[in-house]
Structure 1
Amino acid sequence: MSTPVTRQDHRDLLGGLLMAAVGFAAAWYAYEHYELGSPRSMGPGFFPFGLGILLGILGVLIALPALVRPGERLRLAWGPLGSVVGSIVLFALLLKTAGLIVACAASVLVASLADRTITWRGRLVAAAVIAGLCWLVFIVALGMVLPVWPWSP
């Protein structure tokens, strides 16, 4: 069975356009909100602006050839996409109320649903390890003030 072919390589086209949009948006944000300075006396926005422009140009360079190159029909896997997006939303909702450990563990568990080959034991181990690493990095090493547990102040 052959895969359907389209007139354009949608995977590279969409990926390149997404890269360009993120890059140019980051450059615009840096330009609007931070002082750029000059190459000799760089301001806080100089580096993010430059990286944003570079990412935008790379995105365009990926997207343009994809307009004329044939490619496979793009099939979006809605389940894994929903798992990953849902895990990000869940983390944002749980961080202040349930604490860092619970938010990280829940986020990893939901995101791991995107891969059906992972066992529940593997999911639980990954959630525990990542939650512990988040605690070590953000609370212990960086000293960030975040609730660690639901009962934390």
Structure 2
Amino acid sequence: MRRDWHDLLGGVAMVATGLFVSIYSQLHYDIGSLRQMGPGFFPVTLGGILAVLGLAIALPAWRRSGTARPLALPEMLAILAAIAVFGFGLQTLGIVVATAIAVVLASLPAPRPGWIWRCVLAVAVTALTWLVFKHGLRMTMPVWPEFPG
């Protein structure tokens, strides 16, 4: 039987990443409680959710037959570039600019043409990110680029 290797390997990679993040965060950061969350609470929770989602993808793929698909190289490179720009640019570009650039980069290989929907998507995701992390979680990170001067 031919297995669905793309979903199986992707799910296993998600489980491994989620477990690594959860375990590392639990060992190195204070978890705190639900009333007073420590710096490790968020990564432990997200790592656990990622691991469960990976299982939900990998387990059905174990029994499902798959078809050979080519590697989606442009899409993969766009996502990796978006993650790199956001991760490395957050402190210098600020959350607004880094998020907007990351969203536009990730949407470049999409089959839908046009820039209007990309800009609307970038504005919506940037606003949501700003609301959740700056106001909801009150995280300390720069909002706009910091220019020396």
Counterpart-to-counterpart distance in 2, 1:34 and 1:143: 18
Counterpart-to-counterpart distance in 2, 1:110 and 1:81: 11
Partner in structure 1 of residue 86 of structure 2: 91
Runs of 4+ in 1 over 6 A off after TM superposition: none
Displacement of 1:133: 2.1
Contact 2:7 2:58 in 1 (8 A): no
Displacement of 1:143: 2.2
TM-score (norm 1): 0.66
Counterpart-to-counterpart distance in 1, 2:8 and 2:120: 37
5+ residue gaps, structure 1, are: 1-5, 36-43
TM-score (norm 2): 0.67
Aligned residue-pair number: 135
Counterpart-to-counterpart distance in 1, 2:5 and 2:23: 26
Match of 1:112 among 82, 107, 111: 107
Change (3 A) 1:33 1:125: same
Partner in structure 2 of residue 58 of structure 1: 55
Identity of aligned residues (%): 34
Task: Show the 5 A alignment for 1:73-152.
Answer: 73-151=68-146
Task: Spell out, residue by residue over 1:122-153, the C-alpha distance to the aligned partner (whole angstroms, 9 max, x if none).
Answer: 11111122212222222233322211111379
Change (3 A) 1:30 1:60: farther
5+ residue gaps, structure 2, are: 31-39
Bigger Rg over Cα:
1
Displacement of 1:60: 10
Write the letter of the residue equivalent to 1:94: G
